Structure 1
Amino acid sequence: MSEDDKTPARAIITDYASEHFRYFRTADGTVFAQRNGHPVARPIRSQGTSGSHRQELMVGLFRDGYGSFNGTALKEALDLIEALAMSQDVQQVHIRVAPGFDGATWLDLGRNDGKSVRIHPTGWDILTPDPAEACWRRTQLTGELPLPAKDTGGKGIDLLLRLCNFATAETECLAVAWLIGCLEPSVPVPAPFLTGPQGAGKSTGGRMLVRIIEGMSADLRRAPKDEENLIAAVAAGWVTALDNLSHVAPDLSDLMCCIVTGAETIKRALYTDGDVVRARYRRPLLLTGIDVGVIRPDLAERLLPLRLERPRTRRTEAELWAEFGEVLPVVLGSLLDLTVQVRAAEADIPTDLRMADFAHLCAQLDAATGWGALSAYRASLDDLNDDVIEGDLLAQTVLQHAAGLAPGDEERMTSAEWLHCLTRLYAGEELRPLPKGWPTTGKVLSDRLKRLQPTLAARGVLIDWGRINKARYIEMTRPATPPPHQQEQMH
């Protein structure tokens, strides 16, 4: 055969790829390859150690008798495939959980055979998802989950709670509510903060909660020192678990808020002058620590404190994790059963809480089980508000001033006038020195009050901003009707 009659290597590779793989692009322009009949998709440009499309293409060609090809032929073929895929329909890839058709959601078990759990309104099944319904993205953080057990009778929840050292029944139901929330891809859930005395098993409890969703290979990690590394870790997995926090810096606090409720980062694409890479993320977050010091108000609204107590009897790590591994299929099966029940339950949506979706989930959990998850969630937020106030002298001073207002009264002043009033109240007759971080200008005071606004509202003090004839003012009001959670306490 003459050289002219030989089929170019890139054509062989391209034909083989088109026959055995499906190619598509995501909204950010990344091209993915998906083997026919298999739900896992890989970016064609990835060189990751979790397996790249280039590697699976080379292995497939070799095993099917086409031989091995040099890097130039592979590069030329992949360049053509990528260009052709840019004209295909846009499809989203998901890590661990994904929305499905007809109100269903999917849970990736991380298995090589692609079997996953489809949670639908009447139950759940173990299936291989159709590529048109769910495409999985795998990374090194994607651990394997066991096949969940059917017909558990709910005993898996009891087995889990027996292994953990939660201090109260209220804490237990909040932990279960969070796990159910992790199986919902479109609902933000607050970040559990496992606290308790030294030796209470906070790290062990955190690992158990994470491994129910992420598999036995999942673990806790130290908080990265910079935003870029934390975002990279968040994007590569579903649940992000940070261990042994002793201090939450303002930048980390703001980033945690973004992780819980969702945000987007944009950075310049490598080797380009003007193109950018978009990264959207919203993930379940879990924290452990004895005490993180002062908590900022916006983060407090997104936390779910889970208190643990020291166990009466100690067990070895090997013994504990061996038992956990044995009961994990039952735990996962019971959690899926309860998830179906909760989603089918009808309950009113609380309108006074920041994390309204999670509050609604708690109400549905109560309707399905008779537990007190919603009241426990309100109580936990109330405790966090106390922590915020105890750590913020400005908040304490505002509440002290508001105590002199009668219910229904309102008071308006400019930000500079409020600063003078609150500073004089704090300093007192003895003119004690102002603490570090006290507002120095009316603008700084106004910004601080905006952060404190939800915390103060929970204590019956409303702060609002307005303008009269171009003059701006800040209004403080003590409403005649107490906040909803205080009304519940009265009854």
Structure 2
Amino acid sequence: MTLRTNGTTTADITDLAKKIVAGNGIDPDKKGPSQATQLAALARERYELFMSDDGRPYGVTIGGPNLALPLRGKAGLRSQLARQFADTNNGTVPSQSALADAMTVLEGVAALADPRTPQLRVARHAERIIIDLGTSDGRCVAVDENGWQRLPASPVVFRRSGAMKPLPAPISNGDGLAALRTLLNTTDEGFQLLAAWLVAAFIPDLPHPILAFRGEQGTGKSKGAAMVIGIIDPSGAPKRTAPRDLKSWAVQAFNSWAICLDNVSTVPDWLSDALCRAVTGDGIVDRALYTDDDVVVLEFRRVLAMTTIDAGALAGDLAERLLTIELQLIPDHKRREEAELDQAYADAHPAILASLFDLLAKVLKALPDVELTERPRMADFARVLAAVDQVTGWHTLDSYRATAADAVADVLDGEPFAQAVVDLVDKAGPDSLTLTASQLLEGVATPDKLPKKWPKDPTRAGGQLKRLAPALRTIGIEVDDSQRGPKPKKQRLYKLTASPERRCETASPASPAAPQTPVTCENRGDASATPVASPLPVRGDAGTAEGDAALFPASPHDTASDLQRYDQGDTGTAGDAEMQHLSNPTPECTACHLPLDSTLAAYGETTHPGCDPVPAPNSPTKRA
């Protein structure tokens, strides 16, 4: 017992406090609710809780902006709840354990609600496109076929990230696209294609090609890319270096609508594949923090850009997703200081957005009536370009096709094996080549020092040819691997065919030995007019009757020695007869009477695989 100076004790003070509390109808022996309980009750009172489709809990302020605050992590609803608790409890700060316990309860409440997916910067809502301006009060812009308007609140739930900055409110103040044109040093054709890409960047539900600013040093690639990305999705880091691994890339892509990789010289295979997936839609699964069996999913489809000097270093599938804008060298007397350029860009940004939204509204109105007779690889984007051309009179679709073809050609120029295959097909003339992977690897011109990507065996040669097939098709060379060789090996055969247009481009003058018959696209395939040499070197003397007899056995049966030589890709065997351009009539299958592949005929086969053989006259048995 402690005595006070006035003669009272602490026990007396405690009894007095209990009497006062009891006099107000409160049980003095009953403890109040814990901090965790108060936090959970406060959150359920002020926030609408739900779980996203990928399993992330969020809360939206009731009666406030339609912004999703994540429950996990120290930013978001957790910090907001701590501040509100302190405001309602005379500045008392909740403990970290109380916050953690409250978050666990709130996650369980969110799991019971219907799942929703918060959008990032751009979203589709019915017939309108909603663009989040990124302001704290949740303002947005809605665009439909009738025009655009600013809204005080978004009808779509958006989420924010630390990488995002606000967009300025669009203002119709003159021609914003003309103002943007003065900031970029490209051609009129290139600028029109860029403007069409910017319009498509605000359409969320389609794949967007990767914008590639290409040019030599001093063309303003990095600054131009930063301005273009800032028009769509401003960020504190508009230009970024290539990520070091897949996880760091997924985190960047998940938290930004538009991303620019600056000064790309080489792209690792894993990053090339990741960029391709980000164009069409990707999802990365990772283990959740502090768990053994729980996972988190990062889903995204993004608008991407890059700056590069050499696009030939890119993989073929990535090059097919590029939209290349060539930048011109800036003369010294026209170069502007960065502060001046930044101020001009900031002043023009609201008008640029207004002009883009005007054009977007016209495109949305024209899109339902646009039909493409031929669809390139990025067909959805090509349809948007066709709508842009319809309402503006531009020719962006033709420009896009031309830039796509140039990008693929650059990739082929950087692939030594692809160049060797192209040379092999061009030397073959009008006839197609049908050969195995081992024959292909032996038939192409091999460099003295093998490049890094040169296939080391027939299996890799076949796989690389399959990967190069789309790029080869772009320059007029078809690759068909649906055929199989004769039994019992049934090796895969690759048929390489040059298009008539490519044959015309690569046609050579007539040989001096036959000047009376000029070679044209019409008679180039006529072996009687102009003999064509074999595209592959032939081992041994195949020009004599004895050599011919060795190459074309009379027996229809495949002997073990024949199969062994065919399997090894020996150009002196019957397997090379497919690549000999003969003037003999095409043989027919004795069962179905359709043309018989020359490889089967040279190997003594008389029927297609799968057709029932017809026994020869006076033959007592039927060949199996």
TM-score normalised according to structure 1 size: 0.89
Structure 2 counterpart of 1:41: 68
1:269–1:275 Cα contact (<8 Å) kept: yes
What is the Cα deviation at residue 14 of structure 1?
A: 2.4
In the other structure, the counterpart of 1:9 is 35
Decide which of 440, 449, 467 is 2:456's aligned counterpart: 440
How far the C-alpha of 1:103 sits from its partner, in A, is: 2.1
Deviation at 1:111, TM superposition (A): 0.3
Whether 1:56 aligns to 2:80 is yes
Which has the higher Rg, Structure 1 or Structure 2? Answer: 2
Gaps of at least 5 residues in structure 1 are 484-491
Contact 2:435 2:495 (C-alpha < 8 Å) held by counterparts: yes
- Post-superposition offset of 1:95: 1.4
- Aligned residue in 1 for 2:495: 475
* 1:73 correspondence with 2:98: yes
Counterpart residue type for residue 123 of structure 2: A
Q: 1:397 aligns with which of 420, 427, 445?
A: 420
Matching residue within 115, 121, 128 for 1:104: 128
- Residue matched to 2:348: 327
Task: Write out aligned runs for 1:88-127 (5 A).
Answer: 88-100=113-125, 102-127=126-151
Which position in structure 1 is the counterpart of 2:401? 378
What is the one-letter code of the residue matched to 1:341? Answer: K
- Between 439-448 and 247-256, the greater mean CA deviation after superposition: 247-256
> What amino acid is aligned across from residue 395 of structure 1 in structure 2?
A
| CA shift in 2, pair 1:271/1:61, >3 Å | closer
352 and 451 in structure 1: CA distance in 2 versus 1, 3 angstrom threshold:
farther
Q: Does 1:366 align with 2:383?
A: no
For the 8 Å contact 1:248–1:292, the answer to whether it is kept is no
Instruction: Specify the code of the residue in structure 2 equivalent to 1:46.
Output: G
The answer on 1:156 being equivalent to 2:186 is no
Matched residues in 2 for 1:412 and 1:200: separation?
A: 47
| CA 1:244–1:433: 2 relative to 1, 3 Å | closer
Deviates more, 1:68-77 or 1:117-126: 68-77
**SS of the residue 1:114 aligns to:** coil
Q: Distance in 2 between matches of 1:214 and 1:178?
A: 14
Contact preservation (8 Å) 2:312, 2:413: no
Alignment of 1:185-334 (within 5 A): 185-215=204-234, 217-312=236-331, 313-334=334-355
Deviations 1:3-33 (A, max 9, x none): 4263443333223212211110011211101
Question: Aligned residue for 1:24?
Answer: 50
Provide closer, same or farther for how the CA distance between residues 201 and 350 of structure 1 changes in structure 2, counting only shifts above 3 A.
Answer: farther
Quick check: 27-36 or 211-220, which moved more? 211-220
Range that drifts further, 229-238 or 2-11:
2-11
SS in 2 for 1:272: coil
- Structure 1 contact 143–218 (Cα < 8 Å) conserved: no
| 1:464 aligned residue | 480
Deviation at 1:437, TM superposition (A): 2.6
State the alpha-carbon separation in 2 of the partners of residues 436 and 16 from structure 1: 63
2:413 maps to amino acid? E
- Would you say the 8 A contact 1:211–1:217 is kept in 2? no
1:137 correspondence with 2:159: yes
One-letter code aligned to 1:320: L
State the 1:444 CA deviation: 0.5
Higher deviation after alignment, 332-341 or 177-186? 177-186
CA distance in 2, matches of 1:294, 1:222: 17
Question: 387-396 vs 374-383, which deviates more?
Answer: 387-396
In structure 2, the CA distance between the partners of 1:437 and 1:291, relative to structure 1 (3 Å rule), is closer
Q: Secondary structure at the match of 1:376?
A: helix
Distance verdict in 2 for CA 1:12–1:271, change over 3 Å: closer
- Higher relative contact order by CA 8 Å / sep ≥ 6: 1 or 2? 1
CA–CA separation in structure 2 for the residues paired with 1:5 and 1:432: 87
Residues 383-411 of structure 1: CA deviation (Å, up to 9, x unaligned): 1122112111222222222224555x443
**How far has the Cα of 1:435 moved from its partner?**
3.6
SS at match of 1:163: coil
Q: 2:344 is paired with a residue of what secondary structure?
A: helix
Maintained 8 Å contact 1:39/1:128: no
Q: Does 1:414 align with 2:436?
A: yes
State how far apart, in whole Å, the 1-side matches of 2:398 and 2:141 are: 31
Shift of 1:480: 4.8
State the superposition RMSD in angstroms. 2.2
**Structure 1 residue 73, shift from structure 2 partner:** 2.9
Q: State the secondary structure of the residue aligned to 1:299.
A: helix
Cα distance in structure 1, aligned partners of 2:237 and 2:245? 22
CA distance in 2, matches of 1:125, 1:482: 51
Q: Distance in 1 between matches of 2:435 and 2:415?
A: 22
Q: What is the CA distance between 1:145 and its match in structure 2? A: 0.8
User: Contact 2:425–2:498 at 8 Å: present in 1 too?
Assistant: yes
Native 8 Å contact 2:144 2:364 kept in 1: no
CA shift for structure 1 position 263: 1.9
Partner of 1:486: none
Letter in 2 for 1:148: P
| Cα pair 1:245 1:287 within 8 Å, conserved | yes
Q: Relative to 1, partners in 2 of residues 1:232 and 1:350: Cα closer, same or farther, differing over 3 Å? A: farther
* CA distance, structure 1, for counterparts of residue 260 and residue 426 of structure 2: 41
Retained in 2: the 8 A contact 1:405–1:478?
no
Tell me the distance in 1 between the aligned counterparts of 2:100 and 2:390.
Answer: 57
Any idea what the Cα deviations from partners look like across 1:22-68, whole Å, max 9, x if unmatched? 11001121110111231111111122xxx421111122233345753
Instruction: Give % identity.
Output: 34
Once residues 260 and 93 of structure 1 are traced to their aligned partners in structure 2, the CA distance between those partners, rounded to angstroms, is 19
How much does 1:259 deviate?
Answer: 2.1
Question: Match of 1:197, SS?
Answer: coil
- Give the distance between the partners of 1:456 and 1:270, measured in 2 at CA: 46
When structure 1 is superposed on structure 2, of 328-337 and 412-421 the one drifting more is 412-421
Q: Which secondary structure does the structure 1 equivalent of 2:264 belong to? A: coil
Preserved contact between residue 61 and residue 67 of structure 2 (Cα < 8 Å): yes
Partner deviation per Cα, 1:424-454 (whole Å, 9 max, x = no partner):
xx14xxx845444321222111111122111
Cα separation, 1, equivalents of 2:105 and 2:374: 52
Q: Does 1:338 align with 2:359?
A: yes
**Are the aligned partners of 2:192 and 2:394 in contact in 1 as well (CA < 8 Å)?**
yes
Q: Per-residue deviation at 1:170?
A: 1.6
Aligned equivalents of 2:339, 2:314: Cα separation in 1: 36
- 1:354 match: secondary structure: coil
1:243-275 Cα shifts (integer Å, max 9, x gaps): 122222333222222222222222222222222
Q: Kindly indicate whether the alpha-carbon contact (under 8 Å) linking 2:266 and 2:314 is maintained by their aligned counterparts in 1.
A: no
